[in-house]
A = this chain, B = another copy of it.
Amino acid sequence: MIGCLNHVAIAVPDLTRGIAFYRDILGATVSGVQPLPEHGVSVAFVLLDNSRIELVTPLGEASPLADFLLRQPTGGLHHVCYEVDDLDAALVQLVERGIRILGDGRPKTGAHGLPVVFLHPKDCGGTLIEIEERARPAAEV
A interface residue numbers (CB < 8 A to B) = 1-5, 8, 10, 12, 17-18, 21, 24-28, 48-51, 53, 72, 74-80, 82, 93-94, 97, 99, 121-122, 124-127
Are A10 and B48 neighbours in the complex by a CB distance under 8 Å? no
Smallest beta-carbon distance A30→chain B, Å: 11
Smallest beta-carbon distance A139→chain B, Å: 19
Contacts A8-B77, A25-B97, A75-B125 aside, 8 further interface pairs with beta carbons under 8 A come to: A2-B28, A2-B48, A4-B50, A5-B51, A5-B53, A50-B51, A53-B80, A76-B121
A127 to B72, CA, bound (A): 11
Copies in the complex: 2
A97 to B49, CA, bound (A): 23
Q: What are 18 of the A-B contact pairs (CB < 8 Å)? A: A1-B26, A1-B27, A2-B27, A3-B48, A4-B49, A4-B50, A5-B50, A8-B8, A8-B80, A17-B125, A25-B94, A50-B50, A51-B51, A53-B80, A72-B126, A76-B125, A77-B78, A77-B79
With a cutoff of 8 Å between Cβ atoms, the chain B residues found around residue A21 in the complex are 124-125
